[in-house]
Amino acid sequence: MSGRIAVVGAGMAAARLAQQLVERGRGDGVTLYGAEPHRPYNRTLLADVLTGRLDAAAVGLPCGAPQVTVRTGREVVAVDVRSRTLTLAGGAEAGWDELVFATGANPVLPPIRGLRTADGGLKAGVHAFRSLADCARLAEDAARARRAVVIGGGVLGVSAARALAALGLPTEIVHQAPHLIERHLDEGAGDALRRALEELGVHTYPGNRARALDGDTRVTGVRLATGYLLDADLVVLACGVRPRTGLAHAAGITVRGGVVVDDRLAASAPHVFAIGDCAEHAGVTHGLAGPAWDQADVLAARLSGAGPDTGYGGSRPLVRLTAGPLEYAAFGETGDAAGTDVLRIADATRGPYGSYKKLVLRGDRLVGGILLGDLATVGDLTRAYECDEALPDDPLHLLTKEGAA
């Protein structure tokens, strides 16, 4: 397959697609259009950039250069699927033969009173945490702040809170759900994570909702729905993300939660595709790097002609976080659903922050798991999960390195 491939977005999914196209001999004629001034980078490492452990250059991603053209600071503001053109901010136009939406997602700004100033901007001291630019602003503010509150205790919120605490800033997490990272961890793991964070200097308020931000032009505190006031002159919003679909919707492409795609990752308009955080496949938007890369690999095979019949049938994502010395991983079904057997081991004495391990089995198959504090067996377990391997008669041994080896 030949012709011009325009990729709207220059994030993790776009970079993976471009690199895979080059590896399949299809890099010529591929252009990535990114609104940010940076070349593609790994957003999952932003907390390490915030702490100074990594610099911006260290989190860059390969994207098929020099064969692939990466146009940074070039926001696409319109797409015309009939004429197969796109329009950049400033009015310049470019043609395409195949177009891929890899626009990612926007951070969700919660409906909290006092979040914005009279001119509509965020109050001073309030930050999103989604980009390198966000990271730079947050680092500058954190250097002179006294106390921080992170609103949202999901993967991003926990990562941000741990980074702020590592900078020496007293930090608290306010999370509306009953326990931290409830999408991926069960109650036991969430409670173990809470205790570990306390040891690292991060206090948490699960089951609480932030109702308002105090302060006129700069935040001075976070008021909870209970009326309790948390002193803070720095607030990080980590309330999830929403697929960035406005451009596709304006072009007349079918959008629900994300840009709707089929197993070919094709959208509703001819020669248009979507991958990554902005894509909705079989009613699911993942918002994780693993599925985005799975989709990029499938689409690269199709667009390059190397695998024209390759289809995307969904992903088995793994969530993994390293927050300083604290690590956890979760995959698949992590609840105690009917028809499953659960193996669980908790050891408060193992390592500096204890450990929590859980496997969810259906018959002789591993359908999910959680590891917190001790990830020695994560490679063996995720391989058994991803490859749908039959388990040994005594799967409890899989929770020890000796048994998994």
Burial of residue 62, with CB atoms counted within 10 A of its CB: 0-12 exposed, 13-18 middle, 19 or more buried: middle
- Which is nearest to 372 in space by CA: 392, 358, 388? 358
Q: What is the pLDDT of residues 94-147, one digit of tens each?
A: 999 999 999 999 999 999 999 999 888 999 999 999 999 999 999 999 999 999
Q: Residue 51 CB: number of other CB atoms within 10 A?
A: 17
Q: What is the pLDDT of residues 158-200, one digit of tens each?
A: 999 999 999 999 999 999 999 999 999 999 999 989 998 998 8
* Domains contained in the chain, CATH given: 5-105+241-304 (3.50.50.60), 126-237 (3.50.50.60), 325-404 (3.30.390.30)
- Min mean pLDDT across 30-44, 216-230, 276-290, 336-350 is at 336-350
pLDDT exceeds cutoff 60 at 37? yes
pLDDT exceeds cutoff 70 at 401? no
256: part of which helix (H) or strand (E)?
none
Residues ≥6 apart with Cβ < 8 Å to 4: 29, 30, 31, 95, 96, 97, 98
Are the beta carbons of 342 and 366 closer than 8 angstroms? no
What is the residue-wise DSSP string for 129-188?
A: -SSHHHHHHHHHHHTT-S-EEEE--SHHHHHHHHHHHHTT--EEEEESSSSTTTTT--HH
- The pTM assigned to this predicted structure is 0.93
pLDDT top residue among 120 and 86: 86
Cis preceding-peptide flag for 66 (omega within 30 of 0): yes
Q: What is the pLDDT of residues 354-399, one digit of tens each?
A: 789 999 999 999 999 999 988 888 888 989 998 888 888 777 777 7
Q: Bridge partners of 191?
A: none
The pLDDT assigned to 346 comes to 87
List Cα–Cα distances, 377 to 95, 324, 336, 380, in angstroms. 49, 19, 21, 6
Are the beta carbons of 210 and 222 closer than 8 angstroms? yes
